[in-house]
Structure 1
Amino acid sequence: MLTTFDLDEYVHEALRLGAVGFLLKDIPPRELAAAVRTVAAGQAMLAPSVTKHLIASYARRTPPGPRSPAGGSPR
């Protein structure tokens, strides 16, 4: 996705709908071309500011409870 909007809800919705890239339109042409090649090769590409927002959003989430070993019960 290539957009001018660096809004968390846009990023989350684009990723939820299957986007593997999210870049802002201020990206230099050379970097845009490299990003297109990266995504075409099956990798993901996010603008640095988007990555920063996603990490901060993830870090604010409530951590899950303790995980039990496979097949076992929590002690």
Structure 2
Amino acid sequence: MARQATPGTTLEHAGDTLAAWHPPTAMELALLPDAPRMLAAATQELVQLLDGTAEGRAALRDIGLNPRRKNEEHRPDWAA
């Protein structure tokens, strides 16, 4: 996932990229071309499915994601 988000990123820095990842808003998804929109939607669905089990949450934490944490800095002003 990190290499798809930023192809030039080495795996050494993949955790930094994943830590900065946030689920796209509906507007952000709507503005993406078809292929990136499908990838983003599939990634978001996978994260939600993994978040549904204890093992999945542990796997997400292992790669630096915590979907239960609200990331306010990425929330648009109109969504507050």
Q: Give the alignment's TM-score, normalised by structure 1.
A: 0.28
Structure showing the higher strand proportion among its residues: 1
The structure richer in helix per residue is 2
TM-score by length of 2: 0.27
Relative contact order higher in (CA < 8 Å, ≥ 6 apart) = 1
Larger radius of gyration: 1
